[in-house]
Amino acid sequence: MDLRKSKYILPNLFTLRSVFFGLLSVIWAMEGTAESFRRAALAIVMAAIADGLDGRVARMTRTETKFGVQLDSLADVLSFGMAPAVLAYAFALRQVDADGSHVGLILAFLYVACGAMRLARFNVQAERTRGPSNFFTGLPIPGAAGIVATLVWCFVDLDVQEPARTLLTGTAMLSVGMLMVSTVRYRNFKHVHLTTPIKVLIVVAASLVGVAVVVTQASAVLLCLGSAYVVMGPAEWFVTLAWRVRPGRRPRSHTREP
């Protein structure tokens, strides 16, 4: 085997690891116990970590390929679309379908459909721009999956019962699904060039988060962090809109000076 070509396999291995964790999540969710739901949620979190590493490895080794991009999208549909939907349905949404209404199934399907459309739109936009962007259009699907997974994990830890469990899970699924296909912009931190002081602050903040995870409920800490990112997009959009329409602001002139 040519060693120069074999390095292209490395990022794809991380992508396939994400698929493996997604499969584990589905299998554990089907068991239907509190402990299996916790393991299924953690598997989705591990899939998100693997998904974040494959892109970084590809950029570090300069092995980004069209095959890797397509494989990553297919993996995301499975690990962050199908797996969270199965987990949410097995954990809470199937309670709605006990009377044969199929509302829970529809909510799960809408989440998967929104995730698939979000990925398709991302691929089309990536082909058009052909360069790194500082923003995502719509909530990235790993972020949406992280919200669903950590919400289920947190509910298991706090022993949340019906009907709150079903109502909040269904609301979260619908909300993040709509945000995925929305035009709300979310910041992309992958291509941000950070100064040394900012890097130090990030390391300190990550250490504090790690301590909080160990000392308190890990699920609650991760859910709060994910929720902060989800809210950041609409909040930034609202602030920008308010700044544009504020009283006394002069509109930009589109006429050129002679």
One-letter identity of residue 143: G
pTM of the model: 0.83
Cα 167 to Cα 233: distance, rounded to the nearest angstrom: 24
pLDDT by residue, tens only, the chain of 258 residues: 455 566 667 778 888 999 999 999 999 999 999 999 999 999 999 999 888 887 777 777 777 778 888 888 899 999 999 999 999 999 999 988 877 788 999 999 999 999 999 999 988 887 777 666 677 888 999 999 999 999 999 999 988 888 899 999 999 999 999 999 999 988 876 655 555 655 455 555 555 555 555 555 788 888 988 898 899 888 887 887 777 766 656 555 544 443
Select from 23, 135, 152 the least CA-distant residue to 77.
23
CATH number belonging to domain 3-244? 1.20.120.1760
Residue 185: how many other CB atoms lie within 10 Å: 17
Q: Where are the domains of the chain?
A: 3-244
Q: Would you give the distance in Å from CA 141 to the centre of its chain?
A: 4
**81 close to 116: Cβ distance less than 8 angstroms:** yes
Helix (H, G, I), strand (E, B) or coil at 187: strand
